[in-house]
Amino acid sequence: MTLAARDPRAPFDLPAPLVEPRIERIARYDWLLAATALALGLVGAVLVWAATRDVERAAGNNPNGYLYRHLINLGIAAVLAFLASRLDAKMLRRSGPFAYLAGVFGLLLVLAVGVTINGAHAWISLGGGFEIQPSEFMKLGLVIGLAVLFVQRSRDRDPGPPATSDVLLALGLVTIPLALIMLQPDLGSAMVVAVAAFGVLVSAGVRARWTIGLLIAGVAGAVLAVRLGLLQSYQLARFSAFTNPHHDPQGVAYNINQAHIAIANGGMFGTGLFNGPQTNGGYVPEQRTDFIFSVLGEEFGFVGGVVVIALFGLLCWRGIVIARRADRTGHLVAIGIVCWFAFQAFQNIGMNLGLMPVTGIPLPFVSYGGSSMFAQGLAVGVLFAIRRASLLPR
């Protein structure tokens, strides 16, 4: 760890040097993390391009339209990441309640004026073909909000495990956005939010009886939801298609089957870029978003798939490294973000590979989609900020 410079004019330690050496400022960014995220985003750009160019050309549109828009999203996400990286530890702590409340406000707004896409009432139309999906931002808001809650509540207290009241308060904070997302209903986002929150809870040192109890309650709740018909019919159809992909080959299972065909035919090295017949033919619905991994599988094969999975591993590893060095708030936030990225990537790729049921969530950085890209950019920025804060003298 670098020692903090001491200002000769001051009789006390400063939280930060007045003038940082330029070299050090740059060194405080986790460049490996940045490169990993950027690599994923660029891989995504190529895959989105491959998934859309033939179909768009056939429809008489610009075949490169989605490529450009993905790159623009990526650029905006980079700017957001840079802005978020400028937060210091205090600002991060203070932003907690705001990030959380902003997320909840967005979800409420969706219920009021949202539009429905693919069965979920999850988008706010901004006009001109732009839509925003508040649940993406809620993931970050909730992680920061929860982390700040635990740290603030335990600040003046015996530093044991969080008190029951803290846990209940935290559960309340989780329940509100979770309920709002389930109202849309967006099962995938709800699962990611729940997992990220669970990661924060576990890392906050909540007693094992709580964490294990919550796990059991979660499973029981899911079973109950199916039994009592709380899920929408399209969600149930996706689940039953997951358990039996040949049940309804023209309906929901069609998606799974076509993605499976695409990936399986990729083999070891894939068909090569722009050469995937399944992709070029537009056989896989929702390919540029939820099923982007099937493009990778078909055109770049097992090798390409492993590279992308490895990139996600790298991303998570950088997050974990940052979490380990961070202060308590930063630690919890970083763990929450890692859990979010890890689970969302796993859920998305798992669904492409028939491991997980179909829930409409994008593959982080890779799938086409502004809201998720921006939220992930902010999250990476927050990771930068945590790392930078951890490198400063406490």
Partner 1 sequence: MVRRSALRRREVGARRFSIIVVLVVSLVLTLVVRLYWVQVADPHKPKQTAGLTHPGHIVVPAPRGSIVDSTGHVLVDNTTVQVLTIDKEAISVLPDHGAAVLRRVAVLLHTTAAKLAAEITPCSVKVPAPCWTGEPYQPVPVASHLPMSTVLAVGENRESFPGVAIRTETLPHYPYGSLAGQILGYTAQVTAADQKRHPKLADPDTIGVSGLEEQYDDALRGVDGVQTKNLNPQGYAESNGGSVAPKQGDTLVTSINFKLQRLAEQSLAQQIADSRKAGMPATGGAVVAMDPQTGRVLAVASYPDYNPQMFVGGISQKNYAALTAPTADDPLLSRAVAGAYAPGSTFKLITSSSLVTHHEISMTGIYPCPGSVTIDGRVKTNYDSEVLGPVDLENALGYSCDTFFYAPEANEYYADEARIANHEQPHEWLQHMASNYGVMRKPGIDLPASEQAAGSYADRETRMARWKANKKTYCAQAQHGYPSIKDPKQRAYLTQLASENCTDGWRYRAGDNADMAIGQGETTMSPLQLAIAYSALVNGGRIWSPKLGWAIVNGKGKVVRTIHPKVHNTVPVSAKVFDYIANSLNFGRGWAVSGAFAYLQSPYRNRIGGKTGTAEVEGHKDTSWLATWGPIYHTKKGHHVRARFVLVGMVEQAGTGATAAGPMLKRIWDGLLGADGKKPIIPGERPSDRLPAIKATR
- Cβ distance to partner 1 smaller for residue 144 or 335: 335
Find where tokens 């924060």 sit. Answer: 200
Which two structure tokens, joined as six digits, stand for 143?
A: 């992680």
The encoded tokens of residue 26 equal 């740059």
**Closer CB to partner 1, 38 or 261, in the complex:** 261
Q: What SS3 state is found at 66?
A: helix
Cβ-in-10-Å burial (0-12, 13-18, 19+) of 384 comes to buried
Shortest Cβ 213–partner 1 spacing (Å) = 16
Q: By C-beta, is 183 or 316 nearer to partner 1?
A: 316
The DSSP string of 222-245 is HHHHHHTT-S-HHHHHHHHHHH-T
Is the CB of 107 or the CB of 318 nearer to partner 1?
318
How many Cα atoms sit within 13 Å of 255 on the Cβ side? Answer: 23
Identify which of residues 130 and 269 has a Cβ nearer to partner 1 in the complex: 269
Tally Cβ neighbours within 10 Å of residue 30: 21
Residue 145 or 276: the one with the smaller Cβ distance to partner 1 is: 276
Residue 129, both tokens: 């073909």
Smallest distance from partner 1 to CB 79, Å: 28
The answer to whether residues 234 and 324 touch, using CB atoms and an 8 Å cutoff, is no
CB of 280 to partner 1, least distance (A): 8
Phi, psi of 130 (to 5 degrees): -95, 135
How many CB atoms neighbour CB 122 within 10 A?
A: 28
Question: Taking the complex as a whole, how short is the minimal distance between the CB of residue 353 and partner 1, in angstroms?
Answer: 5
Reported for 160-163, long-range contacts at CB under 8 A and 24+ positions apart, including other chains, are 161/205, 161/206, 161/207, 162/204, 162/205, 162/206
Instruction: State the residues that interact with partner 1 by CB under 8 A.
Output: 55, 58-60, 158-161, 199, 202-203, 205, 257, 260-261, 263-268, 277-278, 280-283, 297, 301-302, 305-306, 309-310, 312-313, 316, 320, 323-324, 335, 338-339, 342-343, 345-346, 349-350, 353-355
Nearer to partner 1, 46 or 201 (CB): 201
Q: 41 vs 162, which CB is nearer to partner 1?
A: 162
For residue 329, the minimal CB distance to partner 1 (Å) is 14
Of 5 and 309, nearer to partner 1 (C-beta) is: 309
Taking the complex as a whole, the smallest distance from the CB of residue 268 to partner 1 amounts, in Å, to 6
Residue 257 half-sphere exposure, CB side, CA atoms within 13 Å? 12
Could you tell me the strand order of the sheet in which 120-127 lies? Answer: 115-117, 120-127, 130-132
Closest approach of Cβ 76 to partner 1, in Å?
28
Nearer residue to partner 1 within complex by CB, 184 or 278: 278
Q: How far is the CB of 88 from partner 1 (least distance, A)?
A: 23
Are the C-beta atoms of 97 and 75 separated by less than 8 Å?
no
326-347 b/e with 16+ CB inside 10 Å = b? Answer: bbbbbbbbbbbbbbbbbbbbeb
Give the shortest CB-60-to-partner 1 separation in angstroms: 6
Q: How far apart are CA 264 and CA 258, in angstroms?
A: 10
Q: For residue 162, how many C-alpha atoms fall within 13 Å in the half-sphere facing its CB? A: 27
CB of 87 to partner 1, least distance (A): 23
